Amino acid sequence: MSRKGRSKHSKVSADDLLLDDHVGKFPSNRKNLVNISHLVEYTLPNDYSSNNRPLNKRLPRPRRRSDSVHLSNMEYINVNFKFIVNSTGDFRAQVLDPNVPLKQRDILRVIISKNDAQCPICLNEEPIAPRMIKCGHVLCFSCLLRFLELDSTKQCPLCASIIKENEVLPVLISQVDNRFDAPRANEFLSLHLMHRPSNDILALPYQFELSEEGGVNGHRPENFPWYSEAHQQFYQYARILKADPLFSIQCYEKEIEFIHTNYEEDKLLYNENDIYCQKAIDKIRSLINDERKSMESSPDDISNSYDSSFSKLINDTENLQLQDLMVKQYEKQDQSGYFFYQTSFNSKIKFFLSPLDISVIKAIYGDNFSLFPLVLSLKLQDITYETVLPDFLKKHKYLSHLPIGSEIGFLDVEWFEEKGKTFRSILPTQVFQRFKKQLLERAKRTSQRNKREEKNRVKFEKELEQKTLEFYASENNRSLGDYGLASIATRETPTLDSSLIEKSDTNIDLENAVTTVWGTKIIQRSDNIEEPEEDWHMEPLLQQAREKELQKHLKKRSKKKRNQ
């Protein structure tokens, strides 16, 4: 109804008021009005209709993102990498709270694995004098200087975060590839009994403390051990390691050698005179001078601290047999601190024994965690990945030395051994009966998931093969039968030949018979039946199609030459 046709006493409906609130004021010119009356009769599709939904079924609630945490800048670097810090720095804040990032001036090197080291500018998998920007990406020092001078935005080429030259961190590349240094399902692994005092953030294998120079005499290594290449088995458990300025100077001098060598190679191959290599060398020499000045200001000689009590600790632990350590373990019986099982893999993700398996071990060996086996060698069943969050730490206080946001994995181990076609528990009878339901449910759940994943993998490969053949068929204007798919569709399953068993023959040899899933016996034919060859794989078919196309192309060319 138009406004002129309304009477003075006509009432405006509530729907009109709501519509005015949503649409806004109407323009004074009625030519600009848009008729939306068709929306009044709009109905939702059947899929969204509430009538099709069962009455007892609630709408799904949005999942809470409780398993994720946002990390940026130094928080991200603090969680995902290891550090070599200046021994003269003050790190009491990191002992109290592992989430406190280190100060930039105290960081001598950031340790990364070689699979994380690739310069996004020159695409070199081994960056020369690598530097880490605050977003965590690594660049060559000369590439970084070139990028900062030529690029006006000064943003990271990968994530567009702002780059500041005074905020970059020197990097030490480890030769360990984290992608392959991780536990695998259905393989045996070694789990070490770890011990961490309540006020420390360094967890070490308990067998280290049982040596004569270890925890018995109160000489447990400190929270931030010294970095030394001779003690690699020790610092794989530490997140922060110490070094003196002399170590930093040696690293800078090696970087100068690498940059100079790379400069000479590029000049010989490409005849280029890269000025940024010389700029990088000049800046590194300036950093060396700063380190030498800091060494002069602190005259204490700490360069020989690597070979102190810890070197004796490792050597004595290697020389002592495991049985001798177990004797010392029972003599000590230290119940202070936290005890847990951890693997010795050099990966970013730390792997620990699952809570259920810890309960099983506790039921066997009692409540004194210090008397648990020093090393467990068990078969891995499955891995459950978790993210360290505040609520997570309330349940697992023994992992409070890890910063929030760390990725960890709980290892489910196999408590059954295979004997023929049956499985037998390796646990004591009483313990097995106590945890039988939980262990069997976990094994069943893992088996079902593995079968489902394998089925999806096979299905995906077949779909990928089908799509690839369809693509080549459409590109070459051919049918799928030319690629062998017709033979697959028409292939029939061979039926059981009635001549296999004669009714009049009562003397049937059932020793060579095959038992079906229903328990019946089937006699196999004596003659060899040739199975159809699987000649429909993708690569041979594609090669055959290419050869046919080539032959047709050559025939057409020969005809054209004859006609000419």
Domains and CATH numbers, the chain: 70-175+239-296 (3.30.40.10), 176-198+202-221+337-414 (no CATH), 424-481 (no CATH)
What six digits make up the tokens of 545?
């199609």
pLDDT of amino acid 539: 60
| Cβ count near 37 (within 10 Å) | 6
Of 225, 206, 226, nearest to 215 by C-alpha is 206
Judge contact between 351 and 382, C-beta under 8 A.
no
What six digits make up the tokens of 223?
């929270």
Could you give the CA distance from residue 163 to residue 156 in angstroms, rounded to a whole number?
A: 6
pTM: 0.65
Q: What is the mean pLDDT of each run of 10 residues along the chain (564 residues)?
A: 45 46 44 54 50 46 54 87 89 88 91 86 89 91 90 85 89 77 84 88 84 47 76 78 89 92 85 84 91 73 43 45 52 71 85 93 87 89 91 90 91 83 82 90 90 92 87 80 57 50 50 65 54 49 72 77 72
Of 285, 250, 278, nearest to 263 by C-alpha is 278
DSSP label at residue 155 = B
pLDDT of amino acid 231: 63
Tokens 């020197």 found at? 170
SS3 label, residue 92: helix
Could you give the CA distance from residue 82 to residue 112 in angstroms, rounded to a whole number?
A: 7
Kindly write down the DSSP assignment for every residue of 478-536, as one continuous string. --GGGGTHHHHHT--PPPPPGGGS-TT------TT-EE-TTS-EEPPPSSPPPPPP---
pLDDT of amino acid 258: 92
- For 376, residues 6+ apart whose C-beta sits below 8 A from its C-beta are 190, 191, 193, 341, 353, 361, 413
Kindly write down the DSSP assignment for every residue of 384-446, as one continuous string. EEEE--HHHHHH-GGGTTSPTT-EEEEEEEE-EEEETTEEEE-S-HHHHHHHHHHHHHHHHHH
